[in-house]
Structure 1
Amino acid sequence: MDTPSAEARLVRVGDYLIERLRDHGVGHVFGVPGDFVLGFMQKLEQSPLTLVNTCDEQGAGFAADAYARIHGLGVACVTYGVGGLKLANSTGQAYAEESPVVVISGAPGLAERARHPLLHHKVRAYDTQLRVFERLTIASTLLGDPETACREIDRVLAMAVRHKRPVYIELPRDMVETEVVAHGTPALPDNSTDPPVLAAALAEATATIAAAERPVIVLGVEVQRFGLTDAALRFIERTNIPTAVTLLDKSSIGERHPSFIGVYAGAMGREEVRVYVEESDCVILLGALLTDVNLGGFTGHLDPARCIHATRGRLAVGYHIYEHVRLADVVNGLAGANLPRRDPHDTPRPAEIAPVIDSDPEARITVAGLFGRVATSLTDETIVIADPGDALFGAADLPIPRSVGFLAPAYYASL
């Protein structure tokens, strides 16, 4: 091991991982104990982080996903094989729906792997689980080298935060207490938009918006994921452009906001919202994913020639494509642009679900009555989680007052 310099310090691998999770704002870790992860879990229990023991590993994965959507980074911690592989489904959902979840799996120690070819929980080879998660995450690592362990922790966590997608860290149980040298946090390569490209993209986008007679904004889930809600609201409020969401994006904007018109879901949504969005001469899609569910089973029809579509690394103005343009640069650019303020008329208003206060105990239970009862119980502190199917589509018009107050796997669609 290298002798630590004045800038470096000695630290145990398990302690460093916990420290870096805290640095990224994590306050809770969800998981299920197992022998290959007990040493690290003991450290978690002794740390300022709160360890939440869930009923099973998949539940830990879904809980970490929900936590990430609300707080910015979620963590699931499980044992090897029987624990880790149960997280494949929830990790797939996190990747598809752009949720930064850190999967930490305990694993057989490096020394015992060499001595014992048939340890419990092993499937095919000791790297089988690592190979599975390489296909489900944006970055993965086996903390098997004391020389690189801290750098690998930093790299993987930084990738989760930058790309808003899950990552995987495999921690052999004999590495938890290993002392290593931490050299400081390295920076990822710069990924900012090339200034001339950004200037040209924003010039074309703003000119298109300014010339439109009836623009509409569809505020997408990536705006929330990348922490751009405030900038998007500045754009909405400066221009007074009516704003919709799709099912995956529901509550990206508080539904009491005066510019909010409802959920756009093609023919599966309210007709007045569908018509308003599809007949707009400029549909500004900010971080929206045009999936089959978001488009109402592809019953939605958005003319690309009349769309401005900004996603995590691309901007399309009609059929003119600007690659490697960051969503943050587009949203912030639009928020600061000199655009006319609109005075829209005859815009749809959010659906009103009649609250059910008292009802006849002998009356039949109906879907409308059920969602009316749910609507009655919603407060500014409520977070609604809707499963796919009737729960999701029935909840589309529930009045969600707070931003990020509605969570649903409306793309991956896992129960």
Structure 2
Amino acid sequence: MTRAARVLFVTWAAPGHLFPMVPLAWALQAAGHDVAVAGLPSCQEAITGAGLHAVQVGAAAALARLPKRPELAAWGRPARWPEGWSADLDLLDADRRRVVRALYEKQCEVGDLMLDDLVAYGRWWRPDLVVHDALAMAGPVLAAVLGVPAVGHGWEVGATLHEPTADRNDEPLPAYLRLFERRGVAPAAPLAWIDPCPPALRPPDHPEVRRLPMECVPYNGPGHHPEWLAAPRERPRVCLTAGVAGARYRDPDGPDVVSLTLEALAATDAEIVLAAGGPADSLPEFPDRPDRVRVVRGVPFRMLLPTCDLMVHHGGAGTVLTSAVLGVPQIVAPPSPICAEIGYAVERAGVGVMLDRLDDPDLLAKTVGDVLRDPGPQQAAASRLRDETRALPSAHAVADHLVSRFTCLGGR
């Protein structure tokens, strides 16, 4: 009998980058393999909440001391960059490439803060395989240090399934190469990229990706079922969320999108469920909130959305795919370029609408009314996407493939 493999997952952010990896981690555990998930201190509660073995690497204080890069101010402002840029950075002009390069360099700094603890744990635990999220730069370095395979893992929609680049698609990022040099190992690319994004939501590959497709069964965290979900209702129900990222992407000099959206939805007769994802103090002031607005926390979208007629959201990858798989029409109001890139995917697949303007309550109210009156086209597109998703290899099939293809199960 083949012995169990040890698989170490590496992430840097929860929930957005951790949650898409949870079904694969579960599948590996269910098959009898040993699984651990390494992440920063901020990830620990989410990891253990998913029933997984958490390994803390890096220090929150050191992370807080990282300098703020002025180029990244543009990342938190609403903008539509050229469609498909996340797969082909050569579509961007020089100014936008500088923003993406600054993002990659920041992720390299985060990876550097994780690596001492990560390497120490890896040398003790001796994993057979490292699975790292697409922006966890420490993952491939650890695999190179340990001499084991590495496989990248995308988030559901809009993931950058390639190594970080500098000013062109074919130019490696010096900061990334230095992570390997400091540990005395040669740079090594992931052997493949696990992609839970259905084909209908993917941008074209550029360059070609060695992809391992995987069925996405959305995981949105644990939660309790509130009694009101099952109660009869007389109004259409609209869910509004800015996700956990809402406060992070909020532009202090721009419009408060959540407040404007609530204002627009209040003009309809719908019941509004404001699904708060960030800290309590991140919610906007809304002194005249109607009784029809219900603020909820800790109710996973997979539990909430089957009772909803419409989802209005910021363009988070997990929110998009959960809504689509459950057949709920969507309106996307993206607060940042990556959310707009995900919004392009929503429109491309026909499962939702992306707004051109975020500061026009009248436009939003009209769009909400149009979708609620005729949800059929989006629901039909979501049904097609759900069938496409279910046709992809399951997490269990991918787990078996990883262990049989990419691990060396000789003696430790």
| TM-score, normalisation: structure 2 | 0.30
Structure number with higher helix proportion: 2
Which has a greater percent of strand? Answer: 1
**Normalising to structure 1: TM-score of the pair?**
0.30
The structure showing larger relative contact order (alpha-carbon pairs under 8 Å, at least 6 residues apart) is: 2
